[in-house]
Amino acid sequence: MTARFPRTLSEINALSAQDFEAQFAGVLEHSPRYARVVAQARPFASAEAVAAAFASAFDADSQEEQVALIRAHPDLAGKAALAGDLTPESAHEQASAGLDRLSSDEYAEFHRLNAAYHERFGLPYVVCVREHTKASIFEGARRRLANTPEQERAAALHEIGRIARLRVLDLITEEDA
């Protein structure tokens, strides 16, 4: 299997299906099957096209499969984070927003918000933390609790697309001159 590190688009397009899957297995949380689907759409003209292919792959899924994808995401600053059981991608992203350095009051607030999300929607609160601050993550969670279940599912999938885009861009580098 191939290691995950930034590769050029030419290299990405030339990978075997197995190596493509290994390269992009972490793009969608605990859902490497999407990398298998996206591999079939090659060749790609740009890194953005690769990212769009991931979004198209889960957009084409049934509502049941989409809910499973949302549920594959960990709670922010939740039990998995505290136990060190996050994927490397999630651990890096949560740390980038300072979610690994919360005060006891902030951890308690995340616990309350996570519990409210699970009670209201049966889902974790999913947000592209790399595009937010700690304060905007809290504010967004409070605001999104007012969503209908359908609105929240759509919001979570939108955020998953943003997460996937950044993860894809992390794995593709510019072509050598």
Catalytic residues: 73
Any idea which residue has 């605001």 for tokens? 143
Q: Which amino acid is at 145?
A: L
Residue matched to tokens 């951890």: 107
Distance separating alpha carbons of residues 154 and 148, to the nearest angstrom: 10
- What is d(CA 43, CA 45) in angstroms, rounded to the nearest whole number? 7
Rounded to whole angstroms, the Cα distance separating 60 from 153 reads 14
Nearest one of 146, 126, 113 to 30, comparing CA atoms: 126
Give CA–CA dist 43/125, Å, rounded. 34
Separation CA 72–CA 80 (nearest Å): 12
